[in-house]
Chain A
Amino acid sequence: MQGVQHPLSGATYDLVEPGIIEVRKDEMSGRFTKHGVWISGALRHADPHVCLWVSEPVGVSRHAEAAQAIKN
């Protein structure tokens, strides 16, 4: 999954299988490559940068590292 919501469009982006991102907006959805190329579905456009972001393994940001210090 490791999904995100696009802060501008409101669409949700989810990794459904390696290299394949499902985008949902309103009542429509579509599937795209990690570079935002349409594969299938009624939704024909996605933000390629967010597709790329969602397609890759989740990492730890420096701010998350700082948060971890608080937890510890």
Chain B
Amino acid sequence: MTTTDSRVDEPQLRGLARSPGLSYDDLLDMDTHPVPDVLRMRSWHFLDDADIPVSRYTSRDFHDLEVEKMWTKVWQMACRSDDIPDAGDSLVYDIAGLSILLVRQVDMSIKAFFNVCLHRGRQLRDTDGNVAELRCPFHGFAWNNDGSMKQIPCEWDFPHVNQEQFGLKEVQVETWAGFVFVNMDPKCESLESFLGDLPNHFAGWEFEKRAKTVHVARVFRTNWKVLQEAFMEAFHVVATHPQLLAGIGDANSQYDFWGNFSRAITPNGTPSPHLRYTPTEQEAFDAMSDKRLDQESFVQIDDGMTARSVVGMGGRMQWRPIVGDRVDTMSDAEFADSFYYTLFPNFHPWGAFNRIVYRFRPYGNNHEMAIMECMFLTPCDETQPKPKSVPIRWLGPDDDWTEAAELGLLARVFNQDTFNLPKVQIGLQTLKHATVGKQSVTLANYQETKIRHFHSLLDTWLAK
């Protein structure tokens, strides 16, 4: 289509341009194994090309609106069910200045309460752990683990309190795929309704059977959406992670969205269209495996093989002892590629055998600080006891990701992202001033689809 073609101005045709290079469907057609239907599913339409106002990232008023209209109304992932496996286990989930306490019940159900003493308002618990009761450390008011009133100290002084009506205030709880979700709105839709078709996308990857083997949280000096949006597209790879380019189809990523969730698929083992040369299959694999100039290749790609097929073959060998012969039904794509989903507003489970799950949220009630969490959900040998869920390792805003050695190579990738992010917030502070003459950020039509989809949903929530 040329610029003189009048159809280019029709809104429904905008956003249809795609990068040169192999499309994701082209790559799936070359897979050595059958590709699951979910990888072929497509759902995209033009989401307008409007700018996003800077105030969404810098304004205290906008943050307060998010708290009032979204955080207190929306389903959000609080923890893994395995984080509180035994009766009496409790976990504190804090979000935007609000605190929620999750407690495993004797019947193995999970209850969640607003984490506050109804006497003088102290946070009831400030650490995770197993408890026989929920007793406030301030004056000793105590509740049973099911939230019912247990004891009022100096009860003679509280004749005005009806103990049967003095139970902890409950929060909605539901689970999916081993994740525990909470919702503060008693009139909220069911989690099943909110998730829509997402469970079908993950049906083949059995997340409920996985163990949380890594959980690292790091504090950033950015708005939580600045942080989150850095992990919702592959557009930044060419500038931020250029060492990967020989083995990543960054600009050939596939972007789709459905209801409350979106998905990006970034293919690996295929070269970036940004390169001015065509890497060999060996060079593509070497880039994927971070081979250095003074190192031998980790494996030789023989004639007739491709980087993707070798990763598929290696992945099947790697995971066969854990998940059995099911690996024979899995495509090369499921071992090679990155499938990064976003469930509105802040939950990012990755599909297939890349074990990553991200969560992003404000740090306390601060609109200019945020928390990024990275978890690994690892498939387990079902003949062995499931490994215990690991606790969170916290890193501060000046810490280096490599202090969390359990992240492996990913820590160094995160350090590259981290080099940008606080400077984005600084830049946005400049951009918001009227003297600059542009108080908005300008997104790509296609490659930043997930960000556009997020803001489209956010608009809906804030308008309710």
Interface residues of A (CB under 8 A from B): 1-8, 12, 14, 35, 47-50, 52-53, 56-72
With contacts A8-B242, A59-B409 taken as known, whether A66 is within 8 angstroms of B275 at the C-beta atoms is no
**Residue pair A66, B311 in contact (C-beta under 8 Å):** yes
- Distance in Å from the Cβ of B85 to the closest Cβ of chain A? 28
- Distance in Å from the Cβ of A16 to the closest Cβ of chain B? 13
Choose among A6, A52, A58 the residue that contacts B290 (Cβ–Cβ < 8 A): A58
Whole-angstrom CA separation of A60 from B411 in the bound complex: 11
**Residue pair B242, A50 in contact (C-beta under 8 Å):** yes
Q: List 12 A-B contacts (CB under 8 A).
A: A1-B292, A7-B245, A7-B287, A52-B415, A53-B412, A61-B289, A62-B409, A63-B314, A64-B288, A66-B310, A66-B315, A67-B299
Q: From A70, which residue of chain B is reached at the shortest CB distance?
A: B314
**Residue pair B292, A35 in contact (C-beta under 8 Å):** no
Whole-angstrom CA separation of A37 from B77 in the bound complex: 41
**Residue pair B409, A61 in contact (C-beta under 8 Å):** yes
**Residue pair A68, B298 in contact (C-beta under 8 Å):** yes
Choose among A3, A50, A66 the residue that contacts B292 (Cβ–Cβ < 8 A): A3
**Interface SS of A by simple majority:** mixed
**Residue pair A70, B242 in contact (C-beta under 8 Å):** no
**Residue pair A63, B289 in contact (C-beta under 8 Å):** yes
**Interface SS of B by simple majority:** helix
- Distance in Å from the Cβ of B138 to the closest Cβ of chain A? 46
Interface residues of B (CB under 8 A from A): 238-243, 245-246, 268, 272, 274-276, 285, 287-290, 292-294, 298-299, 310-311, 313-315, 317-318, 335-336, 354, 402, 408-409, 411-412, 415-416, 419
| Beyond known contacts A8-B242, A52-B415, A52-B416: 18 more, CB 8 A cutoff | A1-B294, A3-B294, A7-B242, A7-B243, A8-B238, A8-B276, A49-B241, A49-B242, A49-B419, A50-B242, A60-B290, A61-B288, A61-B408, A62-B409, A67-B289, A67-B298, A68-B314, A70-B314
**Residue pair B292, A58 in contact (C-beta under 8 Å):** yes
Whole-angstrom CA separation of A32 from B272 in the bound complex: 27
| B288 contact set on A, CB distance < 8 A | 61, 63-64
With contacts A47-B242, A53-B416, A66-B315 taken as known, whether A2 is within 8 angstroms of B294 at the C-beta atoms is yes
Whole-angstrom CA separation of A4 from B245 in the bound complex: 12
| A48 contact set on B, CB distance < 8 A | 419
Whole-angstrom CA separation of A35 from B314 in the bound complex: 35
| B317 contact set on A, CB distance < 8 A | 66, 69-70, 72
**Residue pair B245, A8 in contact (C-beta under 8 Å):** yes
- Distance in Å from the Cβ of B327 to the closest Cβ of chain A? 11
**Residue pair B415, A1 in contact (C-beta under 8 Å):** no
Whole-angstrom CA separation of A62 from B355 in the bound complex: 10
**Residue pair A53, B274 in contact (C-beta under 8 Å):** no
Q: From B271, which residue of chain A is reached at the shortest CB distance?
A: A7
**Residue pair A8, B335 in contact (C-beta under 8 Å):** no
| A65 contact set on B, CB distance < 8 A | 314, 318
| B293 contact set on A, CB distance < 8 A | 1, 3-5, 12, 14
With contacts A8-B242, A63-B268, A69-B317 taken as known, whether A56 is within 8 angstroms of B310 at the C-beta atoms is no
- Distance in Å from the Cβ of A3 to the closest Cβ of chain B? 4
Q: From B292, which residue of chain A is reached at the shortest CB distance?
A: A2
